[in-house]
Amino acid sequence: DIDHLNLRVQKELVEWLNWLKADIGFDGWRFDFAKGYSADVAKIYIDRSEPSFAVAEIWTSLAYGGDGKPNLNQDQHRQELVNWVDKVGGKGPATTFDFTTKGILNVAVEGELWRLRGTDGKAPGMIGWWPAKAVTFVDNHDTGSTQHMWPFPSDRAMQGYAYILTHPGTPCIFYDHFFDWGLKEEIDRLVSVRTRHGIHNESKLQIIEADADLYLAEIDGKVIVKLGPRYDVGNLIPGGFKVAAHGNDYAVW
């Protein structure tokens, strides 16, 4: 175990980070198992190495109901993510992985898309509160891959990408999905839509519909995304929008 409160440990880790930055060329840090040490310690490492980007892994359990499914309200879960960023310094480069969005998406794409509209009418994950500091993802090396600890429904992965690549927050693409699953072209298409229309981590999200079989949202007035099997949504799409990407149970205009 590393004693992060030991001043010598802090000094040597800061020196190592600055060596990685100056000599190797890295300019962003991922804080693994950030629950294992305080945000105050992480702040020391960030402040003294000045990366352009830093993201923390704060993986805690969602609140579950008696049916074994996540509660609609996950405010306590996302509050923990927000608190970490607040303590490290909200004006700096610190962000956290949006595990709240990941957990809700996991269940929502299984015929419960109503979950993607929170009680306040906004996105129910961290992106609904502080999107500039939320790093969204569908799966990572822990949740998916060989460890398979909390995997996204494999046949619906592209619905997950249609969501995170059109929404506010900073989306993260999983290596396995991109290179091993044959999803590269579909993901590329969504990335190009995001880039072309300048969707960014603080883009404005308007949720049009959130039912069991349909989630429909407009981002920055430029992009509309649909998740779910409901086919006939033409009456909900404003004039002038054309399909730019589509696949199994998702479409983007």
CA distance 188 to 166: 12
CA distance 230 to 249: 8
Name the catalytic one among 57, 86, 142, 176.
57
* Residue 191, CA atoms < 13 Å, CB-side half-sphere: 11
Residue indicated by tokens 């509309």: 224
CA distance 184 to 186: 6
Q: Residue 66's Cα: distance from chain center in Å?
A: 26
Name the catalytic one among 32, 67, 185, 232.
32
CA distance 162 to 245: 9
Q: Show Cβ contacts of residue 83 under 8 Å, excluding neighbours closer than 6 positions.
A: 39
110 counts as catalytic: no
CA distance 214 to 222: 20
12 counts as catalytic: no
Neighbours of 73 (CB within 10 A): 12
What are the catalytic residues? 32, 57
